[in-house]
Amino acid sequence: MRIVLGVSGGVAAYKAVLLLRVLREQGHRVRVVPTAAALRFVGAPTWEALSGEPATDQVFEDVEHVQHVALGKGADLVVVAPATADLLARAASGRADDLLTSTLLTARCPVVMAPAMHTEMWEHPATVANVATLRERGVHVIEPASGRLTGADSGPGRLPEPEEIARVALEIATREALAASVAGADVPEQDLAGRRVVVSAGGTREPIDPVRFIGNRSSGRQGVELARAAQARGAHVTLVAANLSADVAPDVRGLAEVVPVESTAQLREAVRAAAASADVVVMAAAVADFRPVHAPDAKIKKVPGRGPEPIVLAENPDVLAELAHERLRPGQVVVGFAAETGDATGSVLDHGRAKARRKGADLLVVNAVGAGRGFAVAENDVTVVDGAGEVVTTARGSKREVADAVWDVVAKLVVGDGTAGAARPDGVDETAG
Protein backbone atom coordinates (compact mmCIF):
# COMPACT_ATOMS: atom_id res chain seq x y z
CA MET A 1 0.00 0.00 0.00
CA ARG A 2 1.23 3.51 -0.85
CA ILE A 3 0.85 5.64 2.27
CA VAL A 4 1.46 9.34 2.83
CA LEU A 5 2.31 10.00 6.48
CA GLY A 6 1.65 13.65 7.29
CA VAL A 7 3.31 14.99 10.43
CA SER A 8 2.39 18.35 11.91
CA GLY A 9 4.27 20.39 14.48
CA GLY A 10 3.57 18.97 17.91
CA VAL A 11 5.80 17.29 20.45
CA ALA A 12 3.99 14.03 19.70
CA ALA A 13 5.84 14.01 16.35
CA TYR A 14 8.32 11.64 17.98
CA LYS A 15 5.57 9.00 18.07
CA ALA A 16 5.14 9.39 14.31
CA VAL A 17 8.67 7.99 13.94
CA LEU A 18 7.44 4.81 15.62
CA LEU A 19 4.31 4.84 13.45
CA LEU A 20 6.50 5.06 10.36
CA ARG A 21 8.47 2.03 11.51
CA VAL A 22 5.27 0.05 12.19
CA LEU A 23 3.92 0.79 8.71
CA ARG A 24 7.23 -0.01 7.02
CA GLU A 25 7.61 -3.28 8.92
CA GLN A 26 4.20 -4.32 7.60
CA GLY A 27 5.52 -3.90 4.07
CA HIS A 28 3.95 -0.57 3.11
CA ARG A 29 5.65 2.12 1.08
CA VAL A 30 5.54 5.33 3.13
CA ARG A 31 6.30 8.89 2.06
CA VAL A 32 6.56 11.29 5.01
CA VAL A 33 5.26 14.82 4.43
CA PRO A 34 6.11 16.97 7.48
CA THR A 35 5.15 20.56 8.09
CA ALA A 36 7.86 23.14 8.70
CA ALA A 37 7.04 23.06 12.41
CA ALA A 38 7.25 19.26 12.48
CA LEU A 39 10.80 19.43 11.12
CA ARG A 40 11.77 21.40 14.23
CA PHE A 41 10.83 18.38 16.34
CA VAL A 42 12.14 15.59 14.05
CA GLY A 43 14.52 16.38 11.21
CA ALA A 44 14.32 15.29 7.59
CA PRO A 45 17.30 12.87 7.87
CA THR A 46 15.34 10.72 10.34
CA TRP A 47 12.27 10.55 8.11
CA GLU A 48 14.33 9.84 5.01
CA ALA A 49 16.49 7.17 6.64
CA LEU A 50 13.50 5.25 7.97
CA SER A 51 11.23 5.65 4.96
CA GLY A 52 13.74 5.48 2.11
CA GLU A 53 11.87 8.43 0.56
CA PRO A 54 12.55 12.18 0.47
CA ALA A 55 10.92 14.23 3.23
CA THR A 56 10.17 17.90 2.64
CA ASP A 57 7.54 20.49 3.45
CA GLN A 58 8.29 22.52 0.32
CA VAL A 59 5.91 22.78 -2.63
CA PHE A 60 8.73 24.12 -4.84
CA GLU A 61 11.00 21.08 -4.61
CA ASP A 62 10.83 18.44 -7.34
CA VAL A 63 8.52 20.79 -9.25
CA GLU A 64 8.79 18.86 -12.51
CA HIS A 65 6.84 15.97 -10.89
CA VAL A 66 4.17 18.32 -9.47
CA GLN A 67 4.48 16.66 -6.07
CA HIS A 68 1.78 18.79 -4.41
CA VAL A 69 -0.73 17.04 -6.69
CA ALA A 70 0.95 13.71 -7.39
CA LEU A 71 1.40 12.65 -3.76
CA GLY A 72 -2.29 12.84 -2.87
CA LYS A 73 -3.52 11.39 -6.16
CA GLY A 74 -1.07 8.49 -5.99
CA ALA A 75 -1.71 7.46 -2.39
CA ASP A 76 -3.84 4.56 -1.18
CA LEU A 77 -4.02 6.08 2.30
CA VAL A 78 -3.12 9.38 3.97
CA VAL A 79 -2.47 9.37 7.71
CA VAL A 80 -1.78 12.59 9.63
CA ALA A 81 -0.24 11.97 13.06
CA PRO A 82 -0.05 14.09 15.01
CA ALA A 83 -2.73 16.40 13.68
CA THR A 84 -2.38 19.62 15.67
CA ALA A 85 -5.13 22.17 16.22
CA ASP A 86 -3.45 24.37 13.60
CA LEU A 87 -3.35 21.58 11.03
CA LEU A 88 -7.01 20.70 11.65
CA ALA A 89 -7.96 24.37 11.19
CA ARG A 90 -5.99 24.72 7.96
CA ALA A 91 -7.38 21.46 6.57
CA ALA A 92 -10.96 22.40 7.49
CA SER A 93 -10.64 25.77 5.75
CA GLY A 94 -9.11 24.24 2.60
CA ARG A 95 -5.73 25.94 2.91
CA ALA A 96 -2.95 24.82 0.59
CA ASP A 97 0.04 26.73 1.94
CA ASP A 98 2.49 23.84 2.25
CA LEU A 99 3.04 20.38 0.81
CA LEU A 100 0.92 18.59 3.42
CA THR A 101 -2.21 20.73 3.11
CA SER A 102 -1.87 20.65 -0.69
CA THR A 103 -1.65 16.86 -0.54
CA LEU A 104 -4.80 16.71 1.60
CA LEU A 105 -6.72 18.68 -1.05
CA THR A 106 -5.68 16.33 -3.85
CA ALA A 107 -6.07 13.01 -2.01
CA ARG A 108 -8.88 10.81 -3.29
CA CYS A 109 -8.09 7.96 -0.90
CA PRO A 110 -9.09 7.53 2.76
CA VAL A 111 -7.66 10.28 4.98
CA VAL A 112 -7.17 9.47 8.67
CA MET A 113 -6.19 12.15 11.19
CA ALA A 114 -4.97 11.42 14.71
CA PRO A 115 -5.21 14.66 16.73
CA ALA A 116 -2.81 15.52 19.53
CA MET A 117 -2.90 18.72 21.56
CA HIS A 118 -3.63 20.05 25.03
CA THR A 119 -7.08 19.32 26.40
CA GLU A 120 -8.14 22.98 26.29
CA MET A 121 -7.28 23.16 22.60
CA TRP A 122 -9.06 19.89 21.79
CA GLU A 123 -12.22 21.02 23.60
CA HIS A 124 -12.23 24.58 22.22
CA PRO A 125 -15.35 25.30 20.11
CA ALA A 126 -13.18 26.18 17.09
CA THR A 127 -11.46 22.78 17.14
CA VAL A 128 -14.76 20.99 17.75
CA ALA A 129 -16.23 22.77 14.71
CA ASN A 130 -13.19 22.00 12.56
CA VAL A 131 -13.33 18.31 13.44
CA ALA A 132 -17.06 18.23 12.65
CA THR A 133 -16.40 19.89 9.27
CA LEU A 134 -13.69 17.41 8.36
CA ARG A 135 -15.84 14.45 9.36
CA GLU A 136 -18.73 15.78 7.26
CA ARG A 137 -16.35 15.77 4.30
CA GLY A 138 -15.43 12.14 4.87
CA VAL A 139 -12.17 12.58 6.77
CA HIS A 140 -11.71 9.99 9.51
CA VAL A 141 -10.72 11.93 12.64
CA ILE A 142 -10.02 9.41 15.38
CA GLU A 143 -10.48 10.37 19.01
CA PRO A 144 -7.34 11.25 20.97
CA ALA A 145 -6.42 9.21 24.02
CA SER A 146 -6.58 10.51 27.58
CA GLY A 147 -3.42 10.60 29.64
CA ARG A 148 -0.22 12.48 30.36
CA LEU A 149 0.37 15.42 28.04
CA THR A 150 3.31 17.82 27.83
CA GLY A 151 4.55 18.78 31.27
CA ALA A 152 2.29 17.96 34.20
CA ASP A 153 -0.98 18.26 32.27
CA SER A 154 -3.22 15.24 31.84
CA GLY A 155 -6.49 14.70 29.99
CA PRO A 156 -7.93 14.02 26.52
CA GLY A 157 -5.60 15.12 23.73
CA ARG A 158 -2.85 12.52 23.90
CA LEU A 159 -1.83 10.89 20.62
CA PRO A 160 -2.92 7.22 20.55
CA GLU A 161 -0.15 4.64 20.45
CA PRO A 162 1.44 4.12 17.01
CA GLU A 163 0.29 0.49 16.77
CA GLU A 164 -3.32 1.54 17.37
CA ILE A 165 -3.17 4.36 14.79
CA ALA A 166 -1.75 1.95 12.23
CA ARG A 167 -4.38 -0.68 12.97
CA VAL A 168 -7.31 1.75 12.72
CA ALA A 169 -5.99 3.48 9.59
CA LEU A 170 -5.29 0.25 7.74
CA GLU A 171 -8.71 -1.13 8.68
CA ILE A 172 -10.35 1.98 7.26
CA ALA A 173 -8.31 1.78 4.05
CA THR A 174 -9.11 -1.92 3.58
CA ARG A 175 -12.80 -1.37 4.27
CA GLU A 176 -13.11 1.53 1.83
CA ALA A 177 -11.15 -0.33 -0.85
CA LEU A 178 -13.58 -3.23 -0.51
CA ALA A 179 -16.56 -0.89 -0.72
CA ALA A 180 -15.15 0.65 -3.90
CA SER A 181 -14.42 -2.69 -5.55
CA VAL A 182 -17.57 -4.60 -4.65
CA ALA A 183 -20.74 -3.02 -5.94
CA GLY A 184 -23.39 -2.87 -3.26
CA ALA A 185 -21.12 -4.35 -0.58
CA ASP A 186 -22.50 -3.89 2.92
CA VAL A 187 -19.38 -2.29 4.36
CA PRO A 188 -19.49 -0.25 7.59
CA GLU A 189 -18.74 3.44 7.27
CA GLN A 190 -17.80 5.94 9.99
CA ASP A 191 -21.35 5.55 11.24
CA LEU A 192 -20.38 6.24 14.86
CA ALA A 193 -18.35 9.38 14.17
CA GLY A 194 -18.78 11.87 16.98
CA ARG A 195 -20.75 9.45 19.15
CA ARG A 196 -19.81 8.64 22.74
CA VAL A 197 -19.88 4.93 23.54
CA VAL A 198 -19.44 3.04 26.82
CA VAL A 199 -18.48 -0.63 26.71
CA SER A 200 -17.99 -2.90 29.71
CA ALA A 201 -15.72 -5.93 29.33
CA GLY A 202 -14.31 -8.79 31.37
CA GLY A 203 -15.68 -10.43 34.48
CA THR A 204 -16.29 -8.94 37.91
CA ARG A 205 -14.83 -10.49 41.06
CA GLU A 206 -16.52 -10.47 44.45
CA PRO A 207 -14.07 -10.85 47.36
CA ILE A 208 -14.47 -13.69 49.84
CA ASP A 209 -11.41 -12.51 51.74
CA PRO A 210 -8.24 -10.61 50.71
CA VAL A 211 -7.03 -13.69 48.77
CA ARG A 212 -10.09 -15.44 47.35
CA PHE A 213 -12.99 -14.26 45.22
CA ILE A 214 -16.11 -15.39 43.38
CA GLY A 215 -15.60 -14.82 39.66
CA ASN A 216 -16.21 -16.19 36.19
CA ARG A 217 -14.32 -17.32 33.10
CA SER A 218 -14.73 -14.20 30.95
CA SER A 219 -11.46 -13.03 29.39
CA GLY A 220 -12.91 -9.70 28.22
CA ARG A 221 -11.99 -10.34 24.57
CA GLN A 222 -15.47 -9.73 23.14
CA GLY A 223 -15.89 -6.47 25.03
CA VAL A 224 -12.46 -5.21 24.01
CA GLU A 225 -13.19 -6.01 20.35
CA LEU A 226 -16.48 -4.12 20.64
CA ALA A 227 -14.58 -1.10 21.99
CA ARG A 228 -11.91 -1.26 19.29
CA ALA A 229 -14.50 -1.69 16.53
CA ALA A 230 -16.48 1.30 17.80
CA GLN A 231 -13.36 3.47 17.83
CA ALA A 232 -12.52 2.37 14.28
CA ARG A 233 -16.00 3.54 13.27
CA GLY A 234 -15.36 7.00 14.71
CA ALA A 235 -16.73 6.79 18.25
CA HIS A 236 -15.18 8.16 21.41
CA VAL A 237 -15.01 5.03 23.54
CA THR A 238 -14.87 4.54 27.29
CA LEU A 239 -14.00 0.95 28.16
CA VAL A 240 -14.87 -0.17 31.68
CA ALA A 241 -12.52 -3.13 32.06
CA ALA A 242 -13.10 -5.74 34.76
CA ASN A 243 -10.15 -8.08 35.31
CA LEU A 244 -9.12 -8.63 31.69
CA SER A 245 -7.02 -11.72 31.04
CA ALA A 246 -3.29 -11.24 30.48
CA ASP A 247 -3.48 -11.88 26.73
CA VAL A 248 -6.35 -9.40 26.25
CA ALA A 249 -5.17 -6.52 28.44
CA PRO A 250 -2.50 -5.21 25.99
CA ASP A 251 -5.16 -4.76 23.30
CA VAL A 252 -6.75 -1.81 25.12
CA ARG A 253 -3.77 0.41 24.31
CA GLY A 254 -4.83 3.22 22.04
CA LEU A 255 -8.40 3.42 23.29
CA ALA A 256 -9.38 6.91 24.34
CA GLU A 257 -10.34 5.99 27.90
CA VAL A 258 -9.98 2.78 29.92
CA VAL A 259 -11.39 2.53 33.46
CA PRO A 260 -10.19 -0.57 35.37
CA VAL A 261 -12.57 -2.06 37.94
CA GLU A 262 -12.74 -5.19 40.09
CA SER A 263 -16.18 -5.74 41.62
CA THR A 264 -19.74 -5.33 40.39
CA ALA A 265 -20.17 -2.27 42.62
CA GLN A 266 -17.12 -0.62 41.05
CA LEU A 267 -18.28 -1.51 37.54
CA ARG A 268 -21.74 -0.11 38.23
CA GLU A 269 -20.29 3.17 39.47
CA ALA A 270 -17.90 3.53 36.52
CA VAL A 271 -20.47 2.62 33.87
CA ARG A 272 -23.10 4.97 35.28
CA ALA A 273 -20.61 7.84 35.45
CA ALA A 274 -19.61 7.37 31.81
CA ALA A 275 -23.15 6.63 30.62
CA ALA A 276 -24.38 10.07 31.72
CA SER A 277 -22.92 11.55 28.51
CA ALA A 278 -23.04 8.46 26.25
CA ASP A 279 -25.11 7.80 23.13
CA VAL A 280 -24.69 4.04 23.47
CA VAL A 281 -23.97 1.73 26.41
CA VAL A 282 -22.95 -1.87 25.71
CA MET A 283 -22.83 -4.15 28.74
CA ALA A 284 -20.59 -6.96 27.50
CA ALA A 285 -18.98 -7.72 30.88
CA ALA A 286 -19.91 -10.89 32.74
CA VAL A 287 -21.26 -9.32 35.92
CA ALA A 288 -21.54 -11.42 39.08
CA ASP A 289 -25.15 -11.89 40.19
CA PHE A 290 -24.20 -12.42 43.83
CA ARG A 291 -21.57 -11.28 46.33
CA PRO A 292 -20.58 -12.50 49.80
CA VAL A 293 -22.41 -10.62 52.53
CA HIS A 294 -19.26 -10.48 54.62
CA ALA A 295 -15.64 -10.45 53.42
CA PRO A 296 -13.18 -10.43 56.33
CA ASP A 297 -10.06 -8.28 56.19
CA ALA A 298 -7.83 -11.28 56.98
CA LYS A 299 -7.47 -14.51 55.03
CA ILE A 300 -9.87 -17.24 56.13
CA LYS A 301 -7.72 -19.99 57.63
CA LYS A 302 -8.30 -23.68 57.14
CA VAL A 303 -8.82 -25.47 60.49
CA PRO A 304 -7.92 -29.20 60.38
CA GLY A 305 -10.91 -31.37 61.11
CA ARG A 306 -13.42 -28.58 60.67
CA GLY A 307 -15.09 -27.66 57.41
CA PRO A 308 -15.42 -24.10 56.13
CA GLU A 309 -18.08 -21.73 57.34
CA PRO A 310 -20.92 -21.27 54.83
CA ILE A 311 -20.58 -18.25 52.55
CA VAL A 312 -23.78 -16.22 52.71
CA LEU A 313 -24.53 -14.44 49.46
CA ALA A 314 -26.48 -11.28 48.66
CA GLU A 315 -27.86 -10.29 45.26
CA ASN A 316 -25.96 -7.63 43.30
CA PRO A 317 -27.77 -4.77 41.56
CA ASP A 318 -28.88 -5.55 38.01
CA VAL A 319 -26.77 -2.95 36.21
CA LEU A 320 -28.19 -3.63 32.76
CA ALA A 321 -31.82 -3.42 33.90
CA GLU A 322 -31.07 -0.18 35.76
CA LEU A 323 -29.53 1.40 32.68
CA ALA A 324 -32.36 0.25 30.43
CA HIS A 325 -34.97 1.61 32.83
CA GLU A 326 -33.34 4.94 33.69
CA ARG A 327 -31.72 5.93 30.35
CA LEU A 328 -29.18 8.28 31.91
CA ARG A 329 -29.09 10.32 28.71
CA PRO A 330 -32.20 11.01 26.58
CA GLY A 331 -32.47 8.67 23.62
CA GLN A 332 -29.62 6.48 24.84
CA VAL A 333 -29.28 3.06 23.19
CA VAL A 334 -28.64 0.26 25.71
CA VAL A 335 -27.30 -3.13 24.65
CA GLY A 336 -26.84 -6.14 26.89
CA PHE A 337 -25.09 -9.49 26.62
CA ALA A 338 -26.48 -12.78 27.88
CA ALA A 339 -24.12 -15.71 28.37
CA GLU A 340 -26.47 -18.68 28.56
CA THR A 341 -26.53 -22.47 28.76
CA GLY A 342 -29.48 -24.60 27.77
CA ASP A 343 -31.20 -26.82 30.32
CA ALA A 344 -34.37 -28.81 30.87
CA THR A 345 -36.47 -25.66 30.96
CA GLY A 346 -35.37 -24.24 27.63
CA SER A 347 -32.65 -23.64 25.02
CA VAL A 348 -30.00 -20.93 25.06
CA LEU A 349 -32.22 -18.78 22.82
CA ASP A 350 -35.30 -19.44 24.98
CA HIS A 351 -33.49 -18.16 28.05
CA GLY A 352 -32.06 -15.22 26.09
CA ARG A 353 -35.48 -14.16 24.82
CA ALA A 354 -36.94 -14.30 28.31
CA LYS A 355 -34.05 -12.23 29.65
CA ALA A 356 -34.48 -9.67 26.87
CA ARG A 357 -38.11 -9.16 27.86
CA ARG A 358 -37.14 -8.76 31.53
CA LYS A 359 -34.22 -6.39 31.08
CA GLY A 360 -35.81 -3.81 28.78
CA ALA A 361 -32.66 -3.08 26.76
CA ASP A 362 -32.91 -2.14 23.08
CA LEU A 363 -30.88 -5.20 22.10
CA LEU A 364 -29.60 -8.32 23.84
CA VAL A 365 -26.72 -10.33 22.39
CA VAL A 366 -27.23 -13.98 23.32
CA ASN A 367 -24.36 -16.45 23.20
CA ALA A 368 -23.89 -19.98 24.43
CA VAL A 369 -21.06 -20.54 26.90
CA GLY A 370 -19.29 -23.54 28.35
CA ALA A 371 -17.45 -26.53 26.83
CA GLY A 372 -15.07 -24.38 24.77
CA ARG A 373 -17.70 -21.86 23.69
CA GLY A 374 -18.02 -18.15 24.44
CA PHE A 375 -15.45 -17.63 27.19
CA ALA A 376 -11.68 -17.62 26.57
CA VAL A 377 -11.91 -18.71 22.92
CA ALA A 378 -11.08 -16.85 19.71
CA GLU A 379 -14.50 -17.11 18.07
CA ASN A 380 -18.07 -16.45 19.06
CA ASP A 381 -21.55 -17.37 17.83
CA VAL A 382 -24.33 -14.99 18.83
CA THR A 383 -27.97 -14.19 18.22
CA VAL A 384 -29.08 -10.58 18.63
CA VAL A 385 -32.66 -10.10 19.82
CA ASP A 386 -34.68 -6.96 20.48
CA GLY A 387 -36.53 -6.00 23.65
CA ALA A 388 -39.44 -8.26 22.72
CA GLY A 389 -37.15 -11.24 22.21
CA GLU A 390 -37.47 -11.22 18.43
CA VAL A 391 -34.35 -12.17 16.46
CA VAL A 392 -32.72 -9.18 14.75
CA THR A 393 -29.59 -10.84 13.37
CA THR A 394 -27.06 -13.60 13.96
CA ALA A 395 -23.28 -13.50 13.74
CA ARG A 396 -20.57 -16.12 13.82
CA GLY A 397 -16.82 -15.76 13.45
CA SER A 398 -13.94 -14.01 15.17
CA LYS A 399 -14.87 -11.78 18.08
CA ARG A 400 -13.96 -8.75 15.97
CA GLU A 401 -16.34 -9.93 13.23
CA VAL A 402 -19.06 -10.42 15.82
CA ALA A 403 -18.34 -6.95 17.21
CA ASP A 404 -18.77 -5.34 13.80
CA ALA A 405 -22.02 -7.27 13.25
CA VAL A 406 -23.35 -5.93 16.56
CA TRP A 407 -22.37 -2.36 15.68
CA ASP A 408 -24.04 -2.72 12.26
CA VAL A 409 -27.33 -3.16 14.12
CA VAL A 410 -26.67 -0.61 16.87
CA ALA A 411 -25.66 2.12 14.40
CA LYS A 412 -29.10 1.91 12.80
CA LEU A 413 -30.69 2.69 16.17
CA VAL A 414 -28.63 5.84 16.69
CA VAL A 415 -30.22 8.48 14.49
CA GLY A 416 -30.22 12.23 14.15
CA ASP A 417 -29.24 13.81 17.44
CA GLY A 418 -28.50 10.47 19.11
CA THR A 419 -32.04 9.29 19.82
CA ALA A 420 -32.74 5.60 19.76
CA GLY A 421 -34.55 4.36 16.70
CA ALA A 422 -36.02 1.31 18.41
CA ALA A 423 -38.97 1.53 20.74
CA ARG A 424 -39.28 -0.94 23.55
CA PRO A 425 -42.46 -3.04 23.41
CA ASP A 426 -45.40 -2.08 25.58
CA GLY A 427 -45.79 -4.08 28.72
CA VAL A 428 -42.09 -4.85 29.24
CA ASP A 429 -41.20 -4.95 32.91
CA GLU A 430 -38.00 -2.90 32.82
CA THR A 431 -37.30 -3.32 36.51
CA ALA A 432 -37.23 -7.11 36.57
CA GLY A 433 -33.87 -8.73 37.23
Selection from 178, 188, 103 nearest residue 407 by Cα: 188
Beta carbons of 292 and 381 less than 8 angstroms apart? no
CB atoms within 10 A of CB 168: 22
Beta bridge partners of 113: 80, 141
**Residues near 169 by Cβ (< 8 Å), separated by ≥ 6?**
77, 79, 110, 112, 140
CA 3, CA 55: separation in Å to the nearest integer?
13
Q: Please give the distance of CA 271 from its chain centroid, rounded to a whole number.
A: 15
**Residues near 189 by Cβ (< 8 Å), separated by ≥ 6?**
233
Q: Is 216 a catalytic residue?
A: yes
Exactly one of 216, 243, 367, 380 is catalytic; which is it? Answer: 216
In DSSP notation, 209-257 reads SSS-EE-----SHHHHHHHHHHHHTT-EEEEEEES--TTTGGGGTT-SE
Question: What residues are labeled active site?
Answer: 216
